[in-house]
Structure 1
Amino acid sequence: MQWRNIYRGFFIGISDLIPGVSGGTIAFILGIYEQLLTAISGFFSRDWKKHIGFLLPLAIGMGGTLLIFSRLIEYLLKNYHAQTQFFFLGLIIGVVPFISKQVNVKKNFKIGHFLLVLIVGAALASLAFVSPQNYGTITKLTSSNALGLFLAGWAGSMAMLLPGISGSFVLLLLGVYSTAISALSNLNLPIIAVIGSGVVVGFIVSSKVIRYLLDRFKYVTFAVVIGLIIGSVFVIYPGLPEDGTFLMMSLLTFFIGLLVASLFSSFDNKSSL
């Protein structure tokens, strides 16, 4: 068992609670992105036993975080929204040099790759101007809303594995983010089970697709990944606080995020892209 994956799952779980912050980006920061894709894809095959040691501690860390910290994240986003977002901005921006170095952008990227980065980044950044749907918080599971919640979980989990695209932000756009957070905070097991089932299906499908693209079209895929990460900066940027104290706190959390990304990239990234 790779027990240190518990703390990695902790960070991925925290990111998945924040609209705009991608669990895939955090997996890149932690140096386990490709291993994560391989393990998820391989777990649903005949070779599942050799991947359980990687995935189980990760799942424990993520699951525990989602249950324990959902209320804390609600509190931070409500009372310290800018500071929380600036911390994750630092994390996201801090991972770009690491990915660029690993894939050797200067050597392997052509003009077409840079254009793809620009196009994908602009497309994702445009989501910052999209107004999320608001259907209220669903607290009771019915036959009419079960399918919608399942499909929302599916869409959200597919986004979670793509660096730069936040599963929580997708849930927000679909109008079910408040329902998911409320279900986790209050242990509404029927709703958690339905959304969770969609999440599992999404993980299976997207891990295989992304793994295939990395194997066949590595540099094109990484151009898309870098574009998604850069574009996500515009999605989660909360604006500068007008209050001087809050502004200084936001800048501080931003630099802490940069530092954390740098530390993880330096000491915890041993997988080769």
Structure 2
Amino acid sequence: MEWRNLYRGVLMGITDLIPGISGGTIAVMLGIYERLLTAISGFFSSNWRRQIGFLIPLALGMGSALLIFSRLIKYLLEHHYEPTQFFFIGLVIGVLPLLLKQSDARRNFRPIHVIMLIISGALVASLAFFNADKTGLPIDDRSALTLLGLFFSGWLASMAMLLPGISGSFVLLMLGVYPTAIHALSSLDFLLIAVIGAGVMIGFVVSSKGIKLLLSRYANLTYALMIGMIMGSVAVMYPGLAGDTATILICVLTFVLGLATTLVFGLRKKA
């Protein structure tokens, strides 16, 4: 068992609670992104035993973080939204040097890759114009149709979770399911957790195979799309700035802290 994946899973679980930052981004930051895709896509293959030691500690860390930190994240977003968002913006921006170096963009990127980078960034940035309701009430209806909708919402969110730059929580927010998911986690509503979680798990398996195929056959194009999406996600996360000086200083501090955190992880990966 790779028990160091416990803390990695905790970090990924915390960020998957945040509308705006992707667990895939954190996986890139931790240097386990491609290993994660291989493990998920290979879990239901003949080599599944080789993947258990990697996935079980990671899943335990993510599950623990989702249950433990859901209330804290909800509190921070409701009462300290701007500093929290700037911390995550710092995390995201700090990933870019690592991805640019990993893809060797200066040597490998052609004009078509730059164009696709710009397009993907613009598409993700355009999500900032959606008027998503961050304070909506959870869904109380437990009909079969509603549960089916929650299942497919989890499926769609899982695709975003694996892609650096797109947040699964933001997808849930746009679909109107985010308040329901947070409420289910914080109140331990096992039915809703199971329904949304099943959609996430199935989506992980299907999406990981597709992303892994893209990385193996179209690595430069995939990296260009990923970098563009990460750049565009900054526009989605940007909360604006309050007029008072104290809040601005706190936002600057949290941004620097987030940026430094990512760069430290990047240096450790390089070492």
TM-score, with structure 2 as normaliser: 0.97
1:17 matched residue in structure 2? 17
Alignment of 1:191-210 (within 5 A): 191-210=192-211
Mapped to 1, the partners of 2:66 and 2:137 lie a distance apart of 21
User: Which deviates further from its counterpart, 128-137 or 148-157?
Assistant: 128-137
2:137 matched residue in structure 1? 136
2:56 matched residue in structure 1? 56
- Secondary structure in 1 aligned to 2:42? helix
1:95 matched residue in structure 2? 95
What amino acid is aligned across from residue 260 of structure 2 in structure 1?
L
Note the aligned Cα RMSD (angstroms). 1.2
Mapped to 2, the partners of 1:268 and 1:106 lie a distance apart of 20
Match status 1:248 vs 2:234: no
Match status 1:148 vs 2:149: yes
Alignment of 1:137-216 (within 5 A): 137-139=138-140, 141-216=142-217
Mapped to 1, the partners of 2:162 and 2:156 lie a distance apart of 11
Compute the displacement of 1:268 (Å). 3.4
2:113 matched residue in structure 1? 113
Mapped to 2, the partners of 1:6 and 1:167 lie a distance apart of 21
Match status 1:31 vs 2:31: yes
Determine if contact 1:18/1:168 at 8 Å carries over to the other structure.
yes
Mapped to 1, the partners of 2:243 and 2:133 lie a distance apart of 28
Match status 1:6 vs 2:6: yes
Mapped to 2, the partners of 1:202 and 1:119 lie a distance apart of 25
Determine if contact 1:127/1:235 at 8 Å carries over to the other structure.
yes
Determine if contact 1:183/1:191 at 8 Å carries over to the other structure.
yes
Match status 1:260 vs 2:264: no
What amino acid is aligned across from residue 66 of structure 2 in structure 1?
L
Mapped to 2, the partners of 1:155 and 1:2 lie a distance apart of 28
Match status 1:228 vs 2:257: no
What amino acid is aligned across from residue 15 of structure 1 in structure 2?
T
- Number of positions where the alignment pairs a residue of Structure 1 with one of Structure 2: 270
Compute the displacement of 1:246 (Å). 1.0
TM-score, with structure 1 as normaliser: 0.96
Compute the displacement of 1:140 (Å). 5.0
Compute the displacement of 1:247 (Å). 0.8
Gaps of 5+ in 2: none
What amino acid is aligned across from residue 262 of structure 1 in structure 2?
L
Mapped to 2, the partners of 1:154 and 1:197 lie a distance apart of 8
2:238 matched residue in structure 1? 237
- Secondary structure in 2 aligned to 1:165? coil
Compute the displacement of 1:52 (Å). 0.5
What amino acid is aligned across from residue 46 of structure 1 in structure 2?
S
What amino acid is aligned across from residue 76 of structure 2 in structure 1?
L
Compute the displacement of 1:15 (Å). 0.5
Mapped to 1, the partners of 2:119 and 2:157 lie a distance apart of 22
Determine if contact 1:133/1:174 at 8 Å carries over to the other structure.
no
Gaps of 5+ in 1: none
Compute the displacement of 1:269 (Å). 5.4
What amino acid is aligned across from residue 242 of structure 1 in structure 2?
G
Determine if contact 1:30/1:264 at 8 Å carries over to the other structure.
yes
Alignment of 1:65-76 (within 5 A): 65-76=65-76
What amino acid is aligned across from residue 142 of structure 1 in structure 2?
S
- Secondary structure in 2 aligned to 1:268? helix
Compute the displacement of 1:133 (Å). 5.9
Q: 1:51 to 1:244 in 2, by over 3 A?
A: same
Deviations 1:43-93 (CA, angstroms, capped at 9, x unpaired): 111111100000011001100000000000000001110000000000000
What amino acid is aligned across from residue 263 of structure 2 in structure 1?
S
What amino acid is aligned across from residue 206 of structure 1 in structure 2?
S
Determine if contact 1:30/1:269 at 8 Å carries over to the other structure.
no
